Amino acid sequence: MSINAKIQNIIEAPLNSLGFGIVQIRFMEHDKPKLEILIERLDFVPVTVEECMKANRTISTHLDVEDPIHKAYMLEVSSAGIDRPLVDKKDYIRFVGYKINIQTAVPFEGSKKFKGILDKVSETHAYIKSEIPTLENLVEVAFDDIVKAKLDLDYMIELKMRERKEQK
């Protein structure tokens, strides 16, 4: 079992009981090892700084007891944020219709990085309406070929501004 999977097994239930879900766990072994944990609220309301601090204390307590990392490291707990990464298939399903930035292992028309609207999701692929004029309108990307994907920050800010105008 990977270190990230061990950490998830240790902290998932305690975080869920506080109303948080885990978006991503990344342990980086550099000169100063760092454990980054991105969280979101289970009701999808934005996470506050105070809530990140509360989650950090809970995570720290549970990791101190279980001790899955046998060396000193820095723990960083933060909100997944408005430009949230898409980590697994359920994330892709949840954000169908949203604009995403995607980086692939395999180039499409010479580019490994592009953005577009996430149109649909199958068992093995994400389908993106690309903004790159040279690409086909709908690009089929295997999940195995995706290096990194996240919500497009500018698009998310635009959505939030529209929501605020509609509330007035």
Tell me, what's the pLDDT at 134? 61
Claim to verify: residue 15 and residue 55 sit in the same structural domain = yes
Of 53, 79, 105, the last residue of a domain is: 79
Across the range 138-167, mean pLDDT stands at 89
Phi (first) and psi of residue 139, to 5 degrees = -95, 130
In angstroms, how far is the first alpha carbon of the chain from the final one? 50
Last residue within a domain, chosen from 54, 79, 104: 79
pLDDT in tens, 44-82: 999 999 999 999 999 999 999 999 998 999 999 999 998
The per-residue pLDDT for range 94-107, each reduced to its tens digit, is 999 999 999 999 88
DSSP label at 85? B
Global pTM value: 0.85
Q: Residues 73, 93: one domain?
A: no
* E strand spans, 29-98: 34-41, 74-79
Residue range(s) defining the domain that contains residue 16 = 3-79
